[in-house]
Structure 1
Amino acid sequence: MIVLVDGGSGLNIMYTKTLDEMGVDRTNLHPIRVPFHGIVPGRLAVPLGQINLPVAFGDQSNYRTETLTFNKVGFPETFLAILGRPCYAKFMAIPNYTYLKLKMSGPRGVITVGTSFHHAYKCEVECCGHATAVVASEELATLRGEVAEKMLDAKKSTGSFESAEGSKEVLVDPSSSEGKKVRIGTALSSE
């Protein structure tokens, strides 16, 4: 199972696909409309709801279970879930990113959860590929279009040129056959 343990995240995230594969009934979701940032590039995300689920670390001889609150999100995933600081606090777990280990107290001693550097590298490559796909997606293209339109609207309202009353068109070079014209004010002095 690939679960991202992210000490920078202020919440626990569970993807819709993961909940569906677990067979979790959607009626157990609590509505929530508080947005968060940092998951979808360039946008805030609004969870589809919250759910409380039991999470266990360890093995049959030494394990610990706590109930964690997850925000359910409906966009494409690279991981099954993201465990953030609320998970660390609930389990009083200590991560060591150098050794790719997560340690916490259990009823029969310390529980250590870890992975290999090879596995972590594979996950990183997959995550980068996923991020590249998201950046190239139509959703981001639409977002770029929206931003460009807003910038054009802002330029029009602040610095667009509209010819004033009392102006006339004058040939730039009367001897030229190109017929290029410029608009000048009629109230200007001859100088």
Structure 2
Amino acid sequence: MEFESVGPDQEGLEKVPSNEGFLEGDMEARSKTSLRMHYEAQVQVIQNQIGNLEEIRGSLGLSQRKMAQLLLVDPSTWTRWTKNGDEAPPHIWRALQWYSALKEKIPGLTPQYFIGSNPQALHQKALRELDMERQERQQNLNVLALKLDHLSSERDSLREELLRMKKDLKFYRNAIIFTLSLGISWGILFMFWKGL
């Protein structure tokens, strides 16, 4: 096995094996570093969260050419990743995760935001739309609060009416009991008086 120098041939510097004489499969057969395995695991997690490359492109609403423009890669690279099954690098998956999260957090975001010539203007427009939506929701909340207050006051008036009716019912019940008692007492007195 031949070795290439990483730097000037000095004592103490690390020498790296040369790729000469190895086939592509031999290089892949070598063990992966822990950092590489970590990146691959992150890519797998991101893929599970947001889908494959074509699903992400569809959710962002971009053509293949625009997607390549967004990621700053050649369109043939995008085609190689999607058609030939080559894996996109971890930083591409991170970028796609970020774009998807941004689109999810700002619902009014259009594809032009990502690739437009003036992203600041599009950003301001998206913020204005969000602000208008927030104001509309606040107005709806205010209307609902007024309705709730009205229902609350109506409930309170109904509760007062119910208490008043209970008092009236209690009064009428006591009045009927008193009248019946008085009638029975007079009847007993009348019968007693007639019997004498």
Return the structure number with greater strand share: 1
TM-score in terms of structure 2 length: 0.24
Return the structure number with greater helix share: 2
